[in-house]
């Protein structure tokens, strides 16, 4: 039942995403008690020109 | 005023999205009392490699 | 698999939410082809002091 | 610490996004008291076929 | 048409939120060209026990 | 830089949330290569009357 969204800069490989889904699901299951088959993970890739901190686009930093 | 987001696997046609927006708007309007012109619908397509359940990427299932 | 979020001003009754979930699920299932048991609906209530248009809080309009 | 997401139709230039991040960061910092280096801005582009109002896709309006 | 969400720690007053909505709407309108009456702002308050960085809840830092 | 949101039914204790933030941060850091101090976790509690599957509110199931 827990729904997890991971938003991060684009560029991670499919292998990294595969490991991310596996490890995050385990972490959520262990700490909340939800069975792993109830844990849903969404990944959202951000472009460097769609993300800014301190008033500056990441693509300009 | 209701804002509706529908997140689903990519691959639906524009005709399916057109019908989705029409029918979901009607359903929200009828049940909440908001006029249809106040209902906003956002569609978000997910890639199979950005979605996982039970610790596995959908693209591996 | 479609995940639907409905964000709206607080104040709807549980009966309205019950009808909303039922009708929106049907609308999404019919138009996307996803079976109803795969459709998930989240409702998010907004306070009038947490929502603004045209530069003004809704609680001031 | 404030996290700001701006969702809008695609088509803005990188210069417009650069200005958006700068001005929104200033506006949030001034009114909340958070230092600008703590303000994070995410931009999300929407396609016209993924957005609808009044039961109609924007690409059909 | 731009939809802006500002997520921040709870505790800001209604006056701060009022100013936030006004100033952010102006900033978005000026930089994107959208008229102010098309800009929508959502505010989301976070509890200190629902937010963490560096592996620690904010309420413990 | 990864921003993680965990949405789940209300009722977890602060100790469970503390463990969740710690373990999820480690899982994200190990698999993406981002340092733990760059990982941000948001927790969102859902009420049983604001969540539905298969056309039914969770509070009715």
CATH (domain of E8): 3.30.429.10
Nearest to F22, CA basis, from A30, E48, D11: A30
Is a pLDDT exceeding 90 seen at residue B60? yes
Proportion of chain F above pLDDT 90, given as a percent: 97
A interface with B, Cβ–Cβ below 8 Å: 14, 17-18, 21-22, 25-26, 36-37, 39-45
- Is the pLDDT at B1 greater than 90, yes or no? no
pLDDT at residue D1 above 90?
A: no
Q: Is the per-residue pLDDT at C40 higher than 90?
A: yes
Model pLDDT, residue D35 = 98
Distance of alpha carbon E22 from alpha carbon E27, whole angstroms: 9
DSSP F21-52: HHHHHHHHHHHH---GGG-EEEEEEE-GGGEE
- What is the pLDDT averaged over residues A22-40? 98
Q: Which residues of A touch F14 (CB under 8 A)?
A: none
What is the extent of the structural domain holding D33? Answer: 3-51
Cα distance from D5 to chain A (closest Cα, Å)? 9
Q: What angle (nearest 5°) sits at the alpha carbon of residue F20, between those of residues F19 and F25?
A: 105
How many domains, in total, are found in chain F?
1
D near C: at least 3 beta-carbon pairs less than 8 Å apart: no
User: What is the average per-residue pLDDT within E31-50?
Assistant: 97
Report how many helices (DSSP H) and strands (DSSP E) chain D contains, helices first.
Answer: 1, 4
Distance from CA of B55 to the nearest CA of A (A): 4
* B5-50 tens-digit pLDDT: 999 999 999 999 999 999 999 999 999 999 999 999 999 999 999 9
Subunit contact D37:A53, Cβ cutoff 8 A: yes
C30: nearest CB among B1, B23, B33: B23
Kindly state the average pLDDT of the residues E7-27: 97
The pLDDT value given to residue F1: 82
Residue-wise pLDDT for F18-38, tens only, equals 999 999 999 999 999 999 999
CA distance, residue C36 to nearest chain B CA (Å): 14
Report the sign of the C-alpha dihedral through residues E43, E45, E50, E56, in that order: positive
Per-residue pLDDT, averaged over A4-33, amounts to 98
A31: distance to nearest CA of chain B, Å?
Answer: 15
D12 part of a folded domain: yes
Question: How does pLDDT run across D24-38, given as a tens digit for each residue?
Answer: 999 999 999 999 999
| Chain F residues in contact with chain C using a Cβ-Cβ cutoff of 8 Å | 7, 46, 49-57, 59-60
Nearest chain E Cα to C51, which residue? E42
Q: Do A21 and B49 touch (CB under 8 A)?
A: no
Contact A51 D44 (CB under 8 A): no
C53: nearest CA in chain E?
E40
Mean pLDDT of the E39-59 span: 97
The predicted structure's pLDDT at residue A1: 82
For the cut 90, the answer to whether the pLDDT of residue C1 exceeds it is: no
**ipTM value greater than 0.90:** yes
Concerning whether F35 is annotated as a catalytic residue, the answer is: no
User: Residue E42's pLDDT is what?
Assistant: 98
Q: What is the pLDDT of residue B48?
A: 96
Largest CA distance in chain D: 43
Segment (H or E) for B31: helix B14-32
């Amino acid at each position: 039942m827990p729904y997890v969204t991971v938003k991060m800069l684009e560029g991670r490989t499919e292998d990294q995403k595969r490991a991310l889904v596996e490890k995050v699901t385990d972490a959520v299951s262990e700490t909340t008690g939800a069975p792993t088959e109830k844990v849903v993970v969404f990944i959202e890739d951000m472009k460097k020109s769609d993300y800014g901190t301190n008033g500056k686009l990441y693509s300009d930093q």
